[in-house]
Amino acid sequence: MSTNTLLILPGDGIGPEVMAEVRKVINWFGENRGLKFDVSEDLVGGAAYDAHGVPLHDDTMARAQEVDAVLLGAVGGPKYDDLDFSVKPERGLLRLRKEMDLYSNLRPAQCFDALADFSSLKKDIVAGLDIMILRELTSGVYFGEPRGIFEEGNERVGINTQRYTESEIERAARSAFELAMRRGKKVCSMEKANVMESGILWREVTTRVAKDYPEVELSHMYADNGAMQLVRAPKQFDVIFTDNLFGDILSDCAAMLTGSLGMLPSASLGAPMANGRPKALYEPVHGSAPDITGQGKANPIACVLSFAMALRYSFDQGDEATRLEQAIEAVLAKGLRTGDLLGAEGGTPISTSEMGDAIVTALQESLE
Ligand code: NAD
Ligand code: IPM
Ligand code: MN
């Protein structure tokens, strides 16, 4: 396989809309920075269901296992709400995460200076914010057995199981500490050890792993308090380490610190492959946004920032990732805004595609 292979899975709803803008950015790096990507594209989610009757075809799964990085748009939508659970669009994404064993989900929340006024929180609470949520992604209540809807007496019972092994907690904890070592050297672990045995084990294992990282300051917080602290004083955090479900909720919450869910990227990483690169999938934190699909309103920045994370974590191009992040900062500083970023502070309203073009223009300007 040639170098820099990328599998693009646009998915459903605004997924293809935001991915079209990422394509412009990928092409720019190919033409101007000598970063050539061997890009292939395939279906996931409802789009795959429409074509194949399953939300992820086995061939797509196999391809995802081979490439250096997968870039995914979003899956799901009302059209698929009544499908059998086993073929719902979201199952396609969960299969990718599970079979690629992407246990370490990095969800950074950074507040760009130009958006500090726009957050629903006061400017001084979010200005300069730079936190990282490390969400365990392949276990916990999303995958634990037993699960299902069962008959019990004369009614039904819905069951999901929160289950974590020590090794699952440990490997994700190591990712959190490794990240903290390259950042502010603080980890805050969030669980509910006051009511859940899995939380007690989580706390124990995390405390044990911390001994290997004496420079990192570890603290523990119950996840409900964590949610409150995240909106009260988010800058107290550096790395937040948490489980699959709490991480899902806390990261949507963190999104609003940055101004919009349309701003939050993510990287889902697994063990290193033969070429030394980690198994990797990059995707925005947001979903398929059915309420704005097809209207040119979607903010492509979360997806573009996810590609920046791919440059950094899969392709060893940290400087180019920073170039891309700075290009986005420059576009925002010019006052250009998709609808989700427009408020009383004003700004120039632009469409999804105009935002992609503006990012490419700013990239070009970065060379001048
Ligand atoms: P959502 O993230 O799709 O949308 C929530 C709100 O945020 C909506 O008002 C939407 O318009 C807005 N929004 C989201 N992304 C935006 C963007 N880039 N630009 C501007 N506004 C944006 O969440 P939802 O409505 O709860 O879920 C819709 C579907 O997406 C469901 O089927 C859900 O399962 C799926 N989903 C998929 C993913 C994923 O693919 N990773 C993540 C979350 C939800
Ligand atoms: C996310 C999404 C997914 C999750 C869904 C679509 C499976 O909400 O990536 O945040 O719950 O993990
Ligand atoms: Mn989510």
Per-residue three-class SS string for 182-219: CCCCEEEEEECCCCCHHHHHHHHHHHHHHCCCCCCEEE
By mean pLDDT, which of 21-30, 42-51, 255-264, 352-361 is the weakest? Answer: 255-264
Among 227, 256, 285, residue at a domain's last position: 256
Q: Is 84 annotated as a binding residue?
A: yes
- Which protein residues are within 6 Å of ligand 1, measured from CB? 14, 18, 74-77, 90, 93, 261-262, 283, 286-292, 298-299, 302, 340
Give the number of the ligand closest to the Cα of residue 253. 3
Report yes or no on 37 lying in a domain: yes
Among 230, 256, 282, residue at a domain's last position: 256
Residues 6 or more apart whose CB falls under 8 angstroms from that of 239 comprise 131, 132, 133, 134, 176, 179, 180, 183, 184, 186, 187, 188
Using the mean position of ligand 1's atoms as its centre, give its distance from the Cα of residue 195 in Å. Answer: 31
Residue 1 confidence class, pLDDT cut points 50, 70, 90: very low
Q: Three-state SS string across the chain, please?
A: CCCCEEEEEEECCCHHHHHHHHHHHHHHHHHHCCCCCEEEECCCCHHHHHHHCCCCCHHHHHHHHHCCEEEEEECCCHHHCCCCHHHCHHHHHHHHHHHCCCCEEEEEEECCHHHCCCCCCCHHHHCCCEEEEEEECCCHHHCEEEEEEEEECCEEEEEEECCCCHHHHHHHHHHHHHHHHCCCCEEEEEECCCCCHHHHHHHHHHHHHHCCCCCCEEEEEEHHHHHHHHHHCHHHCCEEEECHHHHHHHHHHHHCCCCCHHHCCCEEEEEECCCCCEEEEECCCCCCCCCCCCCCCCCCHHHHHHHHHHHHHCCCCHHHHHHHHHHHHHHHHCCEECHHHCCCCCCEECCHHHHHHHHHHHHHHCCC
pLDDT above 70 (res 2): no
Q: Residues of the chain with pLDDT > 90: what percent?
A: 96
Same domain, yes or no: 305 and 207: no
Same domain, yes or no: 352 and 272: yes
Average pLDDT over residues 154-169: 98
Question: Ligand 1, atom 10: nearest CA belongs to which residue?
Answer: 289
For all residues of the chain together, what is the average pLDDT? Answer: 97
Q: How far apart are CA 252 and CA 238, in angstroms?
A: 17
Average pLDDT over residues 208-226: 98
Ligand 2 test: best mutation among 9, 44, 93, 268, most atoms within 8 Å of CB?
A: 93
Q: Angle CA(54)–CA(56)–CA(62) in degrees, nearest 5?
A: 135
Active site residues: 142, 192, 224, 248, 252
Using the mean position of ligand 3's atoms as its centre, give its distance from the Cα of residue 253 in Å. Answer: 10
Using the mean position of ligand 3's atoms as its centre, give its distance from the Cα of residue 252 in Å. Answer: 6
- Answer whether 58's CB lies under 8 Å from 48's CB: no
Using the mean position of ligand 3's atoms as its centre, give its distance from the Cα of residue 155 in Å. Answer: 30
Q: Is 146 annotated as a binding residue?
A: no
Count of CB atoms situated within 10 Å of the CB of 312: 19
Give the number of the ligand closest to the Cα of residue 261. 1
Same domain, yes or no: 190 and 270: no
Report yes or no on 122 lying in a domain: no
pLDDT digits (tens, 9 = 90+) for 174-212: 999 999 999 999 999 999 999 999 999 999 999 999 999
Q: Any idea what the CATH number is for the domain that residue 166 is in?
A: 3.40.718.10
- Answer whether 70's CB lies under 8 Å from 282's CB: yes
* CA count, 13 A, side-chain hemisphere, 232: 7
- Report pLDDT for 344: 76
Same domain, yes or no: 9 and 90: yes
pLDDT digits (tens, 9 = 90+) for 319-343: 999 999 999 999 999 999 999 999 8
Report yes or no on 138 lying in a domain: yes
Residue 315 confidence class, pLDDT cut points 50, 70, 90: very high
pLDDT above 60 (res 238): yes
Same domain, yes or no: 31 and 51: yes
Same domain, yes or no: 159 and 222: yes
Question: Ligand 2, atom 5: nearest CA belongs to which residue?
Answer: 90
pLDDT digits (tens, 9 = 90+) for 101-149: 999 999 999 999 999 988 889 999 999 999 999 999 999 999 999 999 9
Report yes or no on 279 lying in a domain: yes
Report yes or no on 118 lying in a domain: no
Ligand 1 test: best mutation among 288, 291, 295, 338, most atoms within 8 Å of CB?
A: 288
Question: Ligand 1, atom 37: nearest CA belongs to which residue?
Answer: 287
Question: Ligand 2, atom 6: nearest CA belongs to which residue?
Answer: 90
Using the mean position of ligand 2's atoms as its centre, give its distance from the Cα of residue 245 in Å. Answer: 9
Report yes or no on 275 lying in a domain: yes
* CA count, 13 A, side-chain hemisphere, 271: 8
Report yes or no on 145 lying in a domain: yes
Q: How many domains does the chain have?
A: 2
Residue-number span of the structural domain to which 71 is assigned: 1-108+264-368
- Report pLDDT for 3: 77
Give the number of the ligand closest to the Cα of residue 73. 1
Q: Is 78 annotated as a binding residue?
A: yes
Same domain, yes or no: 134 and 248: yes
Same domain, yes or no: 101 and 209: no
Average pLDDT over residues 302-320: 98
Same domain, yes or no: 274 and 233: no
Among 256, 291, 314, residue at a domain's last position: 256
pLDDT above 90 (res 77): yes
Same domain, yes or no: 235 and 273: no
Average pLDDT over residues 222-244: 98
Same domain, yes or no: 136 and 218: yes
Average pLDDT over residues 60-71: 98
Same domain, yes or no: 270 and 247: no
Could you give the ipTM of this predicted complex?
0.98
Report yes or no on 237 lying in a domain: yes
Question: Ligand 1, atom 13: nearest CA belongs to which residue?
Answer: 289
